[in-house]
């Protein structure tokens, strides 16, 4: 179930404590001159939606948090980033909201490497705040897969790691590519 499609009475009836709350996290930054600024967000959203579709009765999928911690990309025009401490606090507050609605199992699906350190810090706080809840953090790991032809054939790919390895298939996750 997608949280954004539900009304509050529907959420109340859902009993979120019985579901895994899937929380996708992306970013808004460069991925080379040929990919959109929303690449991380688009990919993690597509993965989360596919997982949710396979387990509709067991998963409550949150909207993707598109702001990420991307200060290392601020010199690229168009990057929108949140500094580390506000990012940590934002994730903690959103997970507190999940806890208030009854969620007890939260799976943070991270689609951007720059979010990793602040998410680990947020996780430490959340585990202290909600000792009976379960929080799991995973990075999508897309850079480990084979790059698409469009990415692999770019000469600049050698110095732009995310552009070289980010997408296994440009059309797999983003229909417009």
Average pLDDT, stretch 104-128?
93
Tell me: pLDDT of 112 over 60. yes
How many domains does the chain contain in total?
Answer: 1
Contacts with 42 (C-beta within 8 Å, 6 or more apart), sequence order: 26, 36, 173, 174
Average pLDDT, stretch 8-25?
92
pLDDT band per the 50, 70, 90 thresholds, residue 138: confident
Q: Is 32 within 8 Å of 151 (Cβ atoms)?
A: yes
Range of the domain at 23: 3-173
To the nearest whole percent, how much of the chain has pLDDT over 90? 63
- CATH number, domain containing residue 165: 3.40.50.10310
């Amino acid at each position: 179930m997608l949280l954004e499609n539900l009304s509050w009475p529907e959420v109340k009836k859902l009993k979120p404590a019985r579901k895994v709350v899937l929380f996708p996290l992306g970013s808004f930054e460069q991925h080379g001159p040929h990919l959109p600024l929303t690449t991380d967000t688009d990919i993690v959203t597509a993965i989360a939606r596919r997982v949710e579709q396979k387990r509709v009765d067991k998963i409550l999928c949150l909207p993707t948090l598109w702001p990420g911690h991307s200060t290392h990309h601020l010199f690229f025009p168009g990057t929108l980033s949140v500094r580390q401490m506000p990012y940590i606090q934002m994730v903690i507050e959103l997970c507190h909201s999940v806890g208030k609605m009854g969620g007890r199992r939260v799976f943070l699906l991270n689609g951007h490497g720059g979010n990793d350190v602040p998410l680990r810090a947020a996780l430490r706080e959340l585990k202290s705040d909600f000792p009976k809840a379960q929080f799991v953090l995973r990075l999508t790991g897309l850079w480990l897969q084979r790059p698409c032809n469009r990415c692999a054939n770019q000469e600049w790919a050698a110095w732009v790691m995310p552009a070289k390895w980010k997408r296994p298939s440009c059309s797999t996750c983003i229909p417009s590519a």
